[in-house]
């Protein structure tokens, strides 16, 4: 399932109400909407953006895959 591009154009950051940038994977599937102003990433699950501040990923935090033990 894909998100209609017209709906994507209407989506805004729930924190600052600013524009979101679409991030896609290698197969061109939408995987995350990012707010450059707040440095937050909002996951897209089953074609549905999860626009909750409590669910957002901090873009400045190290990736769990890259973080060492501890």
How many of the other CB atoms lie within 10 Å of CB of 35?
22
Supply φ then ψ for residue 14, to 5 degrees: -70, -15
pLDDT tens track for 5-32:
788 888 999 999 999 999 999 999 999 9
Compute the distance between CA of residue 15 and CA of residue 38 in angstroms, rounded to an integer: 8
**What are the φ and ψ backbone dihedral angles of 43, each rounded to 5 degrees?**
-65, 155
pTM given for the model = 0.80
Question: Domain segments of the chain: what residues?
Answer: 5-58
Question: Nearest-CA neighbor of 45 among 28, 58, 33?
Answer: 33
Looking at residue 1, its pLDDT comes to 53
Please provide the CATH number assigned to the domain covering 5-58: 2.20.25.10
The three-point CA angle 61-67-45 to 5° equals 60
**Lowest mean pLDDT, pick from 2-6, 20-24, 61-65, 66-70:** 66-70
């Amino acid at each position: 399932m894909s998100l209609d591009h017209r709906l994507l154009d209407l989506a805004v950051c729930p924190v600052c109400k600013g524009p979101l940038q679409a991030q896609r994977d290698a197969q061109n599937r939408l995987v995350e909407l990012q707010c450059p102003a707040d440095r937050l990433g909002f996951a897209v699950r089953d074609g549905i953006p999860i626009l909750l501040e409590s669910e957002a990923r901090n873009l400045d935090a190290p990736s769990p895959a890259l973080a060492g033990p501890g």
